[in-house]
Amino acid sequence: MQETLAGIGGLFISAFISSTIAPGGSEAVLAYMVAEGGYKIEQLVMIATIGNTLGAMTTWGLGLLAAKKIPVATLLSEKKQKALDVVRRRGVWALFFSWLPLVGDALCFAGGWLKLPLIPACLIILLGKFARYAAIAWAFI
């Protein structure tokens, strides 16, 4: 029982960290746990999705705070400036792609910076993260 909780807790932490500024390998952790076969796949996908979504929303919140402190978008790095332009053009639906490596964090940051509505942003991020983790789990069954 403790091993199961430790494994699931580790997956949650890995997924959370992977979706913030720090790099992580939650996909590898999920793939390993699915391939190992000692866990319910639905539970693993749910835990990874929730952890990764909470991490993304943390980055969204950092973008919101940054917009209050630094209102001039030109002070952002080039990567964040590009993400800001994409989110401006595509709106909240751009956040579906927050699971993408390298640009996903910047999209979430831009969503907060632009003060996109919290609930729709969270739901669309969750949907994208779920789709990614479900595909990874399916590939390693």
User: Residue 5: what pLDDT?
Assistant: 62
Torsion angle of the four alpha carbons 127, 128, 131, 137, in this order, in degrees rounded to the nearest 10: -110
Percent of the chain at pLDDT > 70 equals 89
Position 84 scores a pLDDT of 79
Q: Is the pLDDT of residue 2 over 70?
A: no
Q: Which domain holds residue 76?
A: 2-139
Angle in degrees, 0-180, between the axes of helices 41-69 and 118-139, rounded to the nearest 10: 140
For residue 46, is pLDDT > 90?
Answer: yes
Positive or negative, the CA dihedral 43, 39, 54, 27 is: negative
Name the 3-class secondary structure at 39: coil
The total domain count for the chain is 1
Closest C-alpha to 44, from 55, 32, 56, 58:
32
Residue 45's nearest CA partner among 130, 121, 141 is 130
* Tokens found for residue 84: 């800001």
Please tell me the predicted confidence (pLDDT) of residue 93: 96
Per-residue pLDDT at 25:
84
- DSSP label of 115: T
Q: What is the pLDDT of residue 21?
A: 64
Q: pTM of the full predicted structure?
A: 0.88
